[in-house]
């Protein structure tokens, strides 16, 4: 008899847990809490939400995994960084599960990343400071030094370059989505090896063109360099998908 009722009981527990999850999120919003602010104690949340300790603990675990709350053992629970870490993990895991999904995710993220950089080109060019442009120049220099002999160093410098490029926007969401590309790239990159289109010299040249256009305040040149940068990457992904 108890076995027949188990599915219903499980559904009820899940429903209660979700109610507590929503209750904690509602508390954060209503109290206008910010990342790093402390949440009430477990006992206080139980009383406020009319929930058991086990329900509150399960809800906190769910929210912690989503980076909505942060559990600091011995200190309490705080509002989390609200990052896109859960999205990144989902995208990379999906890529590893399916032989073709990783290329599709990669292609989609290339589109998103270029959309941000092209759509914000005028603002980026107007906001880049001399110090930031010098840093971008330095990262191109690191790419030049790494070249084909240090693939890891080359990719890391490329990653830092694009993080620095959108930094003047002061938009954390754009920065996180841009970096999500690199997390997925780490999974997909080994399967792009040997696919035509990954010439380090042309990649370095186009990055230098991006910096030079930014330094000259040349939005049209900046956009042209971005197009030249992403086209070979798309060809590599398409070639890898075809080979797979």
pLDDT, tens digit, for every residue of 141-180? Answer: 999 998 768 878 888 898 899 999 999 998 877 887 777 7
Write out pLDDT tens, residues 186-199.
666 666 655 444 57
C-alpha distance from residue 209 to each of 154, 216, 219 (Å): 17, 10, 12
Asked if the model's pLDDT at residue 99 lies above 60, the reply is: no
107-117: average pLDDT: 83
- Domain 85-243, CATH: 1.20.120.530
Q: How far apart are CA 135 and CA 22, in angstroms?
A: 43
Helix (H, G, I), strand (E, B) or coil at 79: strand
Higher pLDDT, 59 or 182: 59
Answer yes or no: pTM beyond 0.75: no
Amino acid 132: pLDDT? 96
Percent of the chain with pLDDT over 90: 46
Amino acid 94: pLDDT? 64
Residue 128 per-residue DSSP state: -
Torsion of CA 58, 64, 68, 70, to 10 degrees: 120
Asked if the model's pLDDT at residue 231 lies above 90, the reply is: no
C-alpha distance from residue 13 to each of 19, 61, 65 (Å): 10, 15, 19
Write out pLDDT tens, residues 30-55.
999 999 999 999 999 999 999 999 99
Asked if the model's pLDDT at residue 242 lies above 60, the reply is: yes
| Same fold yes or no, 2-79 and 85-243 | no
Question: What is the dihedral sign for C-alpha 4, 7, 12, 13?
Answer: positive
Lowest mean pLDDT among 42-46, 95-99, 169-173, 219-223: 95-99
In what helix (H) or strand (E) does residue 72 lie, and over which residues does it extend?
strand 69-72
Fold observed for domain 2-79? Arc Repressor Mutant, subunit A (1.10.10)
- 207 - beta bridge partners? none
Amino acid 195: pLDDT? 47
211-220: average pLDDT: 97
The phi and psi torsions of 120 (rounded to 5 degrees) equal -105, 10
Higher pLDDT, 121 or 95: 121
For the chain, what percentages of helix, strand and coil (3-state, to nearest 5) are there?
80, 5, 20
Domain-by-domain residue ranges, the chain? 2-79, 85-243
Amino acid 114: pLDDT? 86
Q: How confident is the model at residue 134 (pLDDT cuts 50, 70, 90)?
A: very high
C-alpha distance from residue 185 to each of 87, 172, 242 (Å): 14, 20, 18
């Amino acid at each position: 008899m108890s076995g027949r009722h188990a599915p219903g009981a499980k559904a009820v527990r899940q429903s209660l847990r979700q109610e507590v999850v929503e209750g904690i999120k509602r508390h954060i919003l209503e109290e206008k809490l910010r990342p790093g602010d402390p949440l009430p104690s477990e006992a206080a949340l139980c009383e406020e939400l009319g929930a058991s300790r086990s329900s509150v603990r399960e809800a906190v675990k769910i929210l912690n995994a989503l980076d909505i709350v942060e559990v600091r053992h011995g200190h309490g629970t705080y509002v989390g960084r609200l990052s896109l870490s859960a999205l990144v993990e989902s995208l990379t895991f999906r890529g590893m599960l399916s032989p073709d999904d990783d290329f599709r995710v990669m292609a989609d993220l290339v589109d998103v990343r270029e959309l941000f950089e092209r759509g914000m080109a005028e603002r980026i060019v107007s906001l880049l400071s001399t110090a930031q442009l010098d840093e971008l120049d330095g990262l191109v220099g690191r790419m030049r030094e790494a070249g084909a002999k240090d693939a890891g160093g080359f990719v890391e410098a490329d990653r830092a370059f694009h993080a620095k490029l959108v930094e003047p926007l002061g938009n954390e969401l754009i920065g996180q989505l841009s970096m999500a590309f690199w997390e997925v790239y780490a999974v997909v990159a080994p399967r792009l090896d040997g696919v035509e289109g990954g010439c380090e010299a042309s990649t370095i040249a186009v990055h230098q063109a991006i910096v030079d256009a930014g330094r000259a305040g040349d939005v049209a040149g900046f956009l042209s360099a971005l197009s030249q940068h992403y086209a070979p990457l798309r060809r590599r992904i398409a070639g890898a998908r075809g080979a797979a």
